[in-house]
Amino acid sequence: MLDHAPGQGPVTANVRVQPLRLCWIETGQRGLFIGGFAQSIAGLSPSGSRDLLRIFQT
């Protein structure tokens, strides 16, 4: 894993790893943020990752 810029996720083999979970400071409400360029979810199999992304991004 390579070093990363402040506020950015780590970079692995020219791929940026970003957290999906976020929390609004004002309310404490939690949510998911998945950008349109997401291709996989770390820790899941390729097919499981692809299936979840398809659900979340529709």
For the stretch 1-44, pLDDT in tens is: 344 455 555 555 566 777 778 888 899 999 888 878 888 888 88
In DSSP terms, which residues pair with 21 in a beta bridge? 32
Q: What is the pLDDT of residue 37?
A: 82
Q: Look at residues 22, 13, 41 and name the one whose alpha carbon lies nearest to residue 52.
A: 41
Give the global pTM: 0.54
- pLDDT for res 3: 46
The dihedral over CA atoms of 38, 39, 41, 42, expressed in degrees to the nearest 10, equals -110
The structure tokens 């996720």 sit at 9
| Measured torsion, CA atoms of residues 38, 57, 32, 46, in degrees rounded to the nearest 10 | -50
Gap between the terminal Cα atoms of the chain: 31
